[in-house]
Structure formats: structure tokens, C-alpha cells
Amino acid sequence: MDYSTSLLRLTFLALGAALVLIVARSAFRLPLAIDAPAASFLHGAGGCTRFSPWACRSPRTEKSPPRRPSHESDVPRHPLDPLTVTEISRARDLLRAHPPFASAPSALAVHALALDEPDKPAVRRWRKGVHALPPRRAVAVVRFQGESHVLAVDLAAGKVAPLPVPASGYPTMTMDEQNSLCAAPFGDPAFNATIRRRGVRLDDVACLPISPGWYGPAEDGGRRLIKSQCYSTEGTANFYMRPIEGLTVLVDMDTGKVVHISDRGAGIPIPAAKNTDYRGAANDDDDGTDRFGYQTVRAPSMEPAPEGPGFQIEDGHTVRWAGWEFHLKADARAGLVVSGATVQDPDTGARREVMYKGMASELFVPYMDPTEAWYFKTYMDAGEYGFGLQAMPLVPLNDCPRHARYMDGVFVAADGRPYVRENMICVFERYAGDIAWRHSESPITGMDIRESRPKVTLVARMAASVANYDYIVDWEFQTDGLIRIKVGLSGILMVKGTPYSHMNQVRQNEEMHGTLLSENVIGVIHDHYVTFRLDMDVDGADNSFVRVEMARQDTAPGESPRRSYLKATRHIASTEKDARVRLKLYEPAEFHVINPTKKTRVGNPVGYKVVPAGTAGSLLDPEDPPQKRGAFTNNQIWVTPYNKSEEWAGGLFVYQSKGEDTLATWSERDRPIENKDLVLWYTLGFHHIPCQEDFPIMPTVSSSFDLKPVNFFESNPILKQRPTMEKDLPVCAATA
């Protein structure tokens, strides 16, 4: 490509960005233009690239999907319902009219706009049909002329008031920024020359925006910065497997200008495209048959009962199933939020509180390569990129079964306009052939008893595609009162280019920081941590945290033929530091959240316990800059007193933050937590040493933890569940 052609292309991209025409792809549904009619900006079209919403090149025309409800007529029906299209537009008007933004409203960038949830006591008291909705308010995070602002927006009174701004860091990136910054390197002649020296056509280059972390003032210079690394898309949709290794571009986010180019990859070949494409059509021969000769594995069809699904979704957000009731909504930062979870007591019929609010608070993904092109890859996927903003529409029949019902998310673009993320959450009943409970009586008793109950559960699911990695988050509700929170890691590895094509070329004791997966491809070692904020209200708001420690107890001489046994000792945590937990295999314990004022018939305090799993812990130096920012992963369990402002484990402003506003710093206050309104924090952790089976795509790896009733019910609730009979099942017949 000659220079004039490249310049023309770059000019077109710049104009497109100015008109907000560079958008991720049709799945992102970003606004078309500031003055577009409502029906258009709620269902935008267009896309940056045929491959990825992150790797922006030139826009192209795509066929629009079928029209869906625009949500323009939605009204709130529950105190925790997300902001509606009308409310977002109202908030936008108020912000743009507020000084100093009114002087140049087009310069106002909205980074977050969400419901300012009413005070917790008011929400807990509210009853549909009895009480009016509390006043609707919003919280906005905006940037204006180089400054960040946090503002309270009273939608009814039409007032805007400033709120405190964090001491360091910047707001979550907007989708508009993430998209436009993909193209920023192409505006720099030195970058284009570097690409040409690598032997890559500019038309075949895709670049990703990578958050830089924080490594001292010498790096940031008081500016919002982003680093960009690039890939060759030639010959495959899976460009992640074709890194232009060692090339890192530092960009000023506010100006879009290239600040610095580091190119330390000369001599490292770009890995070949062969056998990396993951699309189904790419693996078929010309006649459409499977080139590998594998037999087709059919996914089972989980059909609903003849009368339809056994769950209901009322007023768009309230889910009811098998005694469970909870509020479900999409959130731009957290992704999926479950609130007001209650369960019906099978003995009394009373509705009992379990959890006020649960959500993913932060994701920390540090890569374990300290070299120039990799050391800064220590992502905070929720606070830097927006976990919900990256949630893609779920694929029916593949992401969710046929009878699933879907929820959209209504989010806010940088100009303050609402847009719809379609099919962001699905809800479905799951039966995988598992058993909830069974017992068969031995023939020696003379009793012919074979009792069994199928394990049918309800799942609320979302999936976020944060560049190469896909995260699947399930909230699964069970008939025994258990809530299982599961995270699946899928997608594609982030890999490093290398001159090596075989392990026999690697010098003895050479540190590769990963595994050689294919010719010229290293899968870099990394961790994933997902920290959940769980505001537990077990039969009421005032709870206590109990550590039930298990240890060997030796018997006294002559006491028993046994020499030892396991003894359980209960310790009630009085302050936050008492409740910090680092899991240890040979120092086992249970961790209960109890209501000390509510007792069972025989006198046990009612409670729920967290059942740990996914227990990888960070091995980084606590003073390592990324670990200081990710200090909320120093323990697997934390307990804090309820504080409405303490929602985000990494702090409100995570981008380039210094780590002084995290869960770890809040906990240092060592506040009283006994018989208080408590928040439990749990971190699922994964160490990932890549292997060849992760190439060129990664099979899903999952882990979960449970919130399990402990003395909450008088007996096992499954006792009230009747067995499944043949008449309960659908009768299927072939269609014409």
C-alpha cells in the first residue's frame, strides 16, 4: 500500500471516529450518531472489523439483524430496576445543562451512568402494590476538559450535585474510546513504517488497546495512557495467534496521539496462520463436510415441560422459581447482578431473606512475563474495560438451551445516549441427569424402596468477551436452598511470538515465561481472579461471621481405643481482620454467615456457609505494583460492614490507580462486624500454565463456589420435592 492510500484510509478513520461511526461491531449496538432518531441509536449497526470488536480497522456494511424491542417505553417497576431509556436521556439532558459542562456539552464524555440505588432499608421495606417506588436517582462518572467528575443526578428534582472523586486513577474506558484507540497507531507515520519493515501490510494489521497498569509517575506523567499491540489478520480470523511480537505503542488517550513506540521484536517471525482459524466453516472442505472426519456430537435438547418453563420473569427483572425469588439485571461494570434473593420456607411458607445483592466486583488478570512487551499486562477487566460492556449477545442453542429466556442490557454511550445490548443474560432450567437425592434400601432389610429426585436447577448466565478471553458467569439456584456461583474461562489465549519452533532450540534453563504451543508461539503463564461481592442478609440484615475450625484432637490415655479424632471449634469474628481468610488444605474450616438472633427449633443459629473452590492464591510480591492494585486478592475471603460506597474491590477508579482505594485498604480500618449488616467477599482464583490443548482455541475451564444453607431450614427442603413421572415429560413428534 502506498503512503497516499494509507493517508486517505487514516483520514477516513479519523472522520469516522469524530462522528461516532467507528463502533465495535453490530453486537455492541453503539449509537450511530448524536442526532440519530431513537429507533436508530437504540439499535445501531455497522462494525470495525470482520473479526473482533477490539481490533478496529476499516468500517464495513453488515446486514442488520432482525429488529427487537427498543425498550423506549420501559418504566421502572422495582426499586432496583436499572435506568430506563427515558431516564438515561433525562440524565443526559441534566448533565449537559449543568455548569461547567453547559459551556461545551459536546466535550462531555460519559464513562458511567447507572442507578443510584435507594438506601437499603427502604428497598427491604418496599412491597409491590403497597409502596410507591423510592425517588429515582443516578450516579454519573464523566470526563470534561481533562478532568474526572462523579455526580449525583436527581431525576425527579432535576438537580445535579458533585460527589467525591478518588485520589488517583481514572474512570472505566468508554466503548467509544476502546474502539477509536484501536485505530490510533495508524495515524503515526513511524508506526506505519515499523509495520512495513516487519513485512506486514497495513490492511492486515489489527491492534488491541491494553491498559498499562501503574508503575510510578515516571511512566504516566499525569496523563491517561494506553498501550497498543498489534497482530496480523492475514489468513485467519484467529489473529491472536499471529502477534507482531515486541511492538508496543504508547498512546495518549485524551489526544489519540502516539507518545512512544517500542520495537524489540526484530527477528521474531509472525506465527503462521495455518490451522488457527476456529470458525466452523473454516474447518469444512469445499463440499461442506468435516475435513477431520469426526462424528457429529449432538447437543441434547433440554425441552421444557408441556406447560412451559417452570420459572417466571415478572416486570422484566423479577425471577421466580421453585420457591426462589430474586431481582436480576445487567450492569455495565459488574455484568450480571442478583438482588433481593429470598427462598420460601417449605414448612411455614414464609419468604426468607438470603442475600441482598451479589455480583462480580472485579477481575484481576496478571501475566507472568516481566519483559518489556509484557510486564504491564495486569488487567482489571471490570474497572478498566467494563465487564458488562464486554458482554456479547448470547447464542441461542449453543450458549443457552432452546427454552431459555433472555434479558437485554440498556447502557450508555460516551455521548450520554442509551443503547441496547441484546440477549445479554439468559435464564433457563437445567437438568443434566444429576441426582439431587436418592436412597435405595438393601434387600437384607426386606423393604423394597428406591427413592430418587432429579437435580433440576435454575441458571442465570452471561458471557463477556474481553478481547481474546471469554468469561461465562452462572448463578445457579437449587431446590435445596443452595446457590452456586460458577465462572468458566474460554476463548483464545494471549500468546507471545518466539523464534523457536521446537523445544530443542531452547537453551537449558532459559526462562520462556510459558509453554511452546506451536511453531513460534508461546502461551504465557497467567492468573485469573474473580472477586465477588456478596451482601448477605440471612433472615435479616444483622449477621455475624463464624469460622468453624477443624483440627485433630488427641484422646486422653485410656479414654478410647482411638488415638485421635477431628474436633470443630466455632469462633465468631469481632472485627474485619478477624474475618480475613487464606485457605489452607491442612488447616480446614467452614465459614458461616449466621443470624445470631434467629434459631432453629433445636436452638442452632440459622445461617449460610460459603463452600470454597477455585482456590488459587496470588504468589506475587505484595509490594509488586500490580499486586498492590490487586490487593483484594491477598485473601480468599474478606468480611466488611455494609457500606454502600464500597462496591468495587479495586476502587471506583481503577484505571492507572495506585491501589490506595481497594478492599484491602478498607479492611485495614478493622471495623466491628459482629451482629452487623455484613458483606462477604470471595475470590475465585485460577493459575493457568498453557498447554498445547489450549491451541489455537482454549477449552472452557470452570470453577465454582457455593452459598449453602447451614441450619437455615428445619430439615432438607428436597423432602418436599416429588419425583418426576413419565407424564411430566414433553411428548415430542417430528415436524412436517
Would you name the residues annotated as active-site residues? 381, 469
User: Scanning the structure block, which residue is given the C-alpha cell 458467569?
Assistant: 473
Is the alpha carbon torsion for 90, 95, 99, 104 positive or negative? negative
Q: Which residues contact 666 (CB under 8 A, 6 or more apart)?
A: 640, 643, 646
Half-sphere exposure of 171 (CA within 13 A, CB side): 27
Give the residue among 387, 290, 274 at the shortest CA–CA distance from 334: 387
Handedness of CA 369, 374, 376, 382 (dihedral sign): negative
Q: Where are the alpha helices (DSSP H) in 104-225?
A: 120-125, 175-183, 189-197, 217-220
Using CA atoms, how far apart are residues 245 and 198, in angstroms rounded to an integer?
10
Report the alpha-carbon distance of residue 313 to residue 80 in Å, rounded. Answer: 15
Helices in 428-500 by DSSP H: which ranges? none
Which of 248, 231, 220 lies closest to 494 in space, CA to CA?
231
The answer to whether residues 198 and 247 touch, using CB atoms and an 8 Å cutoff, is yes
Cα dist from 204 to 201, 245, 272, whole Å: 5, 15, 14
Q: Could you give the residue ranges of the DSSP H alpha helices within 613-721?
A: 625-629, 663-667
Give all strands of the β-sheet with 247-252 in edge-to-edge order: 205-210, 225-232, 247-252, 258-263
Dihedral angle sign, alpha carbons of residues 465, 142, 630, 373: positive
Helix (H, G, I), strand (E, B) or coil at 122: helix
In degrees and rounded to multiples of 5, residue 633 shows phi and psi of: -95, 5
* 349: exposed, middle or buried (Cβ count in 10 Å: 0-12, 13-18, 19+): exposed
The secondary element (H helix, E strand) that includes residue 338 is strand 335-344
- Residue 256 φ then ψ, to 5°: 75, 10
CA atoms within 13 A on the CB side of 416: 26
Closest CA relative to residue 333, chosen from 706, 653, 732:
653
CA distance 688 to 350: 45
Question: Nine-digit cell at 535?
Answer: 451482601
Look up residue 90 and give its three cell numbers: 433525562
C-alpha cell at 695: 491451541
Cα–Cα distance, 155 to 94 (Å, whole number): 8
Cell numbers that stand for 492 in this block: 483464545
Q: C-alpha dihedral over 71, 72, 74, 76, to 10 degrees? A: 110
Amino acid at 607: G
Q: By the 8 A CB rule, do 605 and 595 touch?
A: yes
Phi, psi of 125 (to 5 degrees): -80, -25
Q: Among 489, 452, 414, 138, which Cα is nearest to 253's?
A: 414
